[in-house]
Copies of this chain bind each other. A is one copy, B any other.
């Protein structure tokens, strides 16, 4: 169903932006895992709004509370983990326009067509607050995976508006020699770009857009190292297909590329192929001379670094008056409404990273189930 994701490790999420709470139920977490609740909270803290001049002013503590699935000592029972995060700073009055008009490029018109009633305040499920449940699922997924594997992730902003380090990153990733940034380095940037110069330009751009009552889009790069070989299920649940689906289900996402992506479509086969460079004698695992594949071949992980890019459009909600029509078709000037991020990308970083962990953990459990 449409509010669930995952096959063995399944998240069912719920909650509207201005309703009582956002939450989810996670099935398939193995029993006897000592869950680190503080670590989960720290993921939520990275996602939460109101932390800087470049994010939405809505203030939310976003404290997680578990309702099931855990012993008093936080050991998983093997039963579903249900959790909630309360909405506290709601302002339903901001959405009085919804009876009369639709915000351009927002969920308003499409949702109204689908559900045959004006959108709920704050866009309901279309609000980025639903991503809280995704971040929790990702944080738990990581705890499942790192128990028996040495997997690491690194995610950051690689483009905002016209400021981009994407092409450089792509080139280096293909050659496998790119610096790997610590979470601390990423988090030290207001826009979550660990390269100081680019970060500075991006911050400026966002602040300028905010000042202008406008918004910006951008891109996130996610990288995963140490992923075991063999994850991904041919033919419809290929690793890149499930990563793509997870990322493209994020609010404002418009594009997804893995490995060489669209740039790679311009290369010749002889330039693009990743040749085997050698085989580790102990493990019989191959290593490769390049990594244009992005760690996945024919839908299955090959042990090389997985990396992919997600593109986000500029926030639909802007601080300017827009000339549009009301529901009867009469031209109106629509005033700005609701609080919003002038650019979703900085807060999308941790969300993309979380979804990547979830996809991998689910595929890891599926792969394990398929062993003879």
Contacts and interface: CB of A to CB of B under 8 A. Distances in A.
A214 B327 CA distance: 56
Contact of A324 (B275, B299, B320): B275
B106 A297 contact: yes
Copies in the complex: 4
Interface string A195-231: 0000000000000010000111111000000000111
15 contacts: A1-B233, A3-B27, A12-B80, A14-B69, A30-B370, A77-B125, A113-B303, A216-B269, A238-B249, A254-B258, A256-B256, A264-B311, A272-B316, A273-B318, A279-B328
Contact of A79 (B125, B144, B280): B125
Contact of A67 (B19, B31, B214): B19
Contacts of A151: none
**Shortest Cβ-Cβ A-B pairs, 7 listed:** A2-B233, A369-B369, A107-B298, A279-B329, A215-B269, A245-B245, A113-B229
B257 A299 contact: no
A84 interface: yes
B286 A102 contact: yes
A360 interface: no
Interface stretch (A52-60, A114-122, A178-186): A114-122
A154 interface: no
Contact of A298 (B71, B123, B244): B123
A254 B262 contact: yes
Contact of A244 (B84, B245, B265): B245
B216 A268 contact: yes
Contacts of A15: 67-68, 82
Interface string A358-372: 000000011111111
A105 to B, nearest CB: 4
A120 B71 contact: yes
Given A32-B372, A300-B111, A235 B13 contact: yes
A16 interface: yes
B281 A329 contact: yes
Contact of A255 (B16, B111, B257): B257
Given A1-B233, A110-B298, 17 more contacts: A3-B234, A16-B77, A19-B70, A22-B68, A28-B369, A105-B272, A126-B299, A214-B269, A236-B246, A244-B245, A254-B262, A255-B265, A256-B256, A270-B318, A271-B314, A275-B322, A280-B329
